Structure 1
Amino acid sequence: MSSPVRVGVFGLLGSGNLGNDGSLEAVLGYLRDAHPDAVVDALCGGPEAVTARYGIPATRLHWYRGEYRTASRAGAIVGKGLGKLVDVFRTAAWVRRHDVVIVPGMGVLEATLPLRPWGFPYALFLLCASGRLLGTRVALVSVGAARIGNRSTRALVRWSARLAAYRSYRDELSRDAMRAMGVDTARDEVYPDLAFALPTPDAPEPRPGAVCLGVMDFHGGDDDRARAAEIHRRYLDGTTAFVRALVAEGRPVRLLTGDGCDAPVVAAIRAAVDSPLVTAAEAGSLADLMRETAAADTVVATRYHNLVCALKTGTPTLALSYAAKSDALMARMGLAEFRHPAREVDADRLLERFRELEKRAPELRRTLAERNAATTRHLERQFAALTAALFPAPDTTPRETS
Structure 2
Amino acid sequence: MTPVRVGVFGLLGSGNLGNDGSLEAVLGYLRAEHPEAVVDALCGGPEVVAARYDIPATRLHWYRGEYRTASRAGAIAGKGLGKLVDAVRTAAWVRRHDVVIVPGMGVLEATLPLRPWGFPYALFLLCASGRLLRTRVALVGVGAAPIGDRPTRALVRWSARLATYRSYRDTLSRDAMRAMGVDTARDEVYPDLAFALPTPSARTSGPPGPVCVGVMDFHGGNDDRARAEEIHRRYLDGTTRFVRALVEDGRPVRLLTGDACDAPVVAAILDAVDSPLVTAAEAASLADLMKEAAAADAVVATRYHNLVCALKVGTPTLALSYAAKSDALMDRMGLGAYCHPAREVDADRLLEQFRALEKRSAELRQTLTERNLAAARQLRHQFTALTEALFPATDHTHTPTMREAP
Give the SS at the match of 2:69.
coil
Give the 5 Å matches for 1:136-151.
136-151=135-150
Residue 336 of structure 1 is matched in structure 2 by: 336
The number of aligned residues is 394
**In 2, Cα distance between the equivalents of 1:175 and 1:394?**
28
1:92 aligns with 2:86: no
**In 1, Cα distance between the equivalents of 2:13 and 2:220?**
24
Letter in 1 for 2:163: A
1:274 aligns with 2:286: no
Give the 5 Å matches for 1:269-308.
269-308=269-308
Residue 233 of structure 2 is matched in structure 1 by: 233
**In 2, Cα distance between the equivalents of 1:202 and 1:192?**
21
Residue 73 of structure 2 is matched in structure 1 by: 74
Letter in 2 for 1:383: F
Give the 5 Å matches for 1:368-383.
368-383=368-383
**In 2, Cα distance between the equivalents of 1:394 and 1:249?**
58
**In 1, Cα distance between the equivalents of 2:378 and 2:23?**
18
Give the 5 Å matches for 1:96-107.
96-107=95-106
Residue 50 of structure 1 is matched in structure 2 by: 49
**In 2, Cα distance between the equivalents of 1:143 and 1:63?**
25
Residue 218 of structure 1 is matched in structure 2 by: 218
CA contact (8 A) 1:17 1:258 kept: yes
Give the deviation of 1:201 after TM superposition. Answer: 1.8
Give the deviation of 1:26 after TM superposition. Answer: 0.1
Residue 151 of structure 2 is matched in structure 1 by: 152
Residue 262 of structure 2 is matched in structure 1 by: 262
**In 2, Cα distance between the equivalents of 1:310 and 1:219?**
23
**In 1, Cα distance between the equivalents of 2:179 and 2:299?**
34
**In 1, Cα distance between the equivalents of 2:210 and 2:61?**
42
Residue 16 of structure 2 is matched in structure 1 by: 17
**In 2, Cα distance between the equivalents of 1:39 and 1:52?**
17
CA contact (8 A) 1:205 1:295 kept: no
- Deviation track 1:200-252 (CA, whole Å, cap 9, x = no partner) reads 12354475152000000000000000000000000000000000000001100
Give the SS at the match of 1:160.
helix
Give the SS at the match of 1:340.
strand
CA contact (8 A) 2:209 2:295 kept: no
CA contact (8 A) 1:13 1:24 kept: yes
CA contact (8 A) 1:64 1:79 kept: yes
CA contact (8 A) 2:202 2:313 kept: no
In structure 2, stretches of 5+ residues that fail to align are 396-406
**In 2, Cα distance between the equivalents of 1:356 and 1:5?**
52
Identity of aligned residues (%): 85
**In 2, Cα distance between the equivalents of 1:213 and 1:30?**
31
Letter in 1 for 2:89: R
Give the deviation of 1:72 after TM superposition. Answer: 0.3
Residue 242 of structure 2 is matched in structure 1 by: 242
In structure 1, stretches of 5+ residues that fail to align are 396-402
Give the SS at the match of 2:66.
coil
Give the deviation of 1:156 after TM superposition. Answer: 0.1
Give the SS at the match of 1:320.
strand
- Deviation track 1:114-172 (CA, whole Å, cap 9, x = no partner) reads 00000000000000000000000000000000000000000000000000000000000
**In 1, Cα distance between the equivalents of 2:249 and 2:108?**
42
Residue 182 of structure 1 is matched in structure 2 by: 181
Give the SS at the match of 1:147.
coil
- Deviation track 1:357-401 (CA, whole Å, cap 9, x = no partner) reads 000000000000000000000000000000000001269xxxxxx
**In 2, Cα distance between the equivalents of 1:166 and 1:202?**
34
**In 2, Cα distance between the equivalents of 1:342 and 1:161?**
29
Give the SS at the match of 2:290.
helix
RMSD: 0.9
**In 2, Cα distance between the equivalents of 1:297 and 1:17?**
25
Tell me the TM-score normalised to structure 2 length: 0.96
